[in-house]
């Protein structure tokens, strides 16, 4: 089975953000699926928004679908409490603890420091966990409809975090369309590396060790090439970082 470059779309948060080098997992996956040689002028379709909300992922997905409907969609689902931003800023509770964590596009001219203070006040005075959980569920339901309406053949859903209102390790959603990975990415890196996001500079990309990015890509490649699912949603252990 072989795909063209435009057949593959990869969207998500920081787990899918770095994709320029041939060993970055999004690039590695696309090269395996297309059987093409690496070219540093080509970047996989889609975008990963560090610290960004599902709203940015949704907007990017709809933009890409308007250009060309892919045959393969890989989507990393972030946690529900990040704040939507039409400028794709990484506004989340972690920013309140460290403003240096706030991500914004390099060419952005709309950001002002007051946005950080507004984020701090939102989480201190206005944040409603129940609302954010509800909004995320509406997005998940809409996404299932989008996949069905566009007849996207192969979809792999990767949850980055556990569902917060339930026990640790609970999937936030099992999607009707596509494979939902049993492995939760944040838990996977904790179990693999014994830490969360406290990564040595230069040793990690997409929160995985540089040498583990191709392993991650190969596991996704196998899931895509051997894609099987049913009408009620399928949960699979994809062995994402190998044994």
pLDDT in tens, 19-34: 999 999 999 999 999 9
Q: What is the pLDDT of residue 167?
A: 57
Is 180 among the domain residues?
A: yes
Q: What is the pLDDT of residue 157?
A: 98
150: domain CATH number is 3.40.50.1110
Q: What is the pLDDT of residue 114?
A: 84
Is 132 among the domain residues?
A: yes
Q: How far apart are CA 156 and CA 73, in angstroms?
A: 6
Tally of domains in the chain:
1
The pLDDT tens digits of the residues spanning 136-153 come to: 999 999 999 999 999 999
Is 46 among the domain residues?
A: yes
Q: What is the pLDDT of residue 166?
A: 59
Is 72 among the domain residues?
A: yes
Q: How far apart are CA 240 and CA 30, in angstroms?
A: 16
Instruction: Using alpha carbons, list the distances in angstroms from residue 122 to 30, 81, 114, 129.
Output: 39, 11, 12, 12
Is 122 among the domain residues?
A: no
Q: What is the pLDDT of residue 135?
A: 97
Q: Which residue segment(s) compose the domain that 204 sits in?
A: 5-81+127-236
Q: What is the pTM of this model?
A: 0.94
Task: Name, in order, each residue with C-beta under 8 angstroms of 161's C-beta and a sequence gap of 6 or more.
Answer: 78, 79, 172, 184, 185, 186
Is 67 among the domain residues?
A: yes
Q: What is the pLDDT of residue 110?
A: 81
Residue ranges in the chain modelled with pLDDT below 50? none
Instruction: Determine contact, residues 88/52, Cβ cutoff 8 Å.
Output: yes
Is 196 among the domain residues?
A: yes
Is 241 among the domain residues?
A: no
User: What are the φ and ψ backbone dihedral angles of 155, each rounded to 5 degrees?
Assistant: -135, 130
Question: At 44, is the secondary structure helix, strand, or coil?
Answer: coil
Please give the radius of gyration of the chain, using alpha carbons only, rounded to the nearest integer: 17
């Amino acid at each position: 089975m072989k795909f063209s470059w435009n057949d593959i779309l990869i969207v998500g948060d920081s787990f899918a953000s770095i994709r320029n080098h041939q060993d970055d997992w999004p690039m590695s996956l696309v090269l395996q699926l297309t059987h093409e040689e690496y070219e540093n002028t080509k970047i996989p379709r889609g975008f990963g928004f560090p610290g960004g909300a599902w709203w940015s992922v949704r907007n990017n997905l709809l933009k890409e679908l308007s250009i060309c409907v892919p045959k393969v969609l890989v989507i990393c689902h972030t946690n529900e409490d990040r704040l939507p931003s039409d400028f794709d800023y990484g506004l989340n509770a972690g920013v309140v603890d460290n403003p240096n964590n706030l991500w914004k596009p390099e060419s952005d001219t709309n950001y002002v420091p007051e946005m950080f203070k507004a984020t701090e006040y939102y989480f201190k005075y206005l944040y409603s966990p129940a609302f954010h959980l509800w909004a995320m569920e509406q997005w998940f339901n809409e996404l299932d409809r989008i996949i069905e309406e566009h007849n996207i053949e192969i979809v792999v859903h990767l949850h980055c975090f556990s569902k917060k209102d339930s026990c640790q390790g609970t999937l936030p959603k099992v999607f009707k369309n596509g494979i939902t990975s049993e492995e939760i990415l944040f838990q996977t890196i904790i179990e693999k590396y014994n830490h969360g996001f406290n990564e040595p500079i230069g040793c990690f990309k997409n929160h995985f060790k540089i040498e583990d990015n191709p392993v991650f890509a190969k596991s996704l490649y196998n899931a895509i090439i051997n894609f099987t699912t049913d009408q009620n949603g399928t949960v699979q252990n994809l062995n994402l970082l190998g044994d």
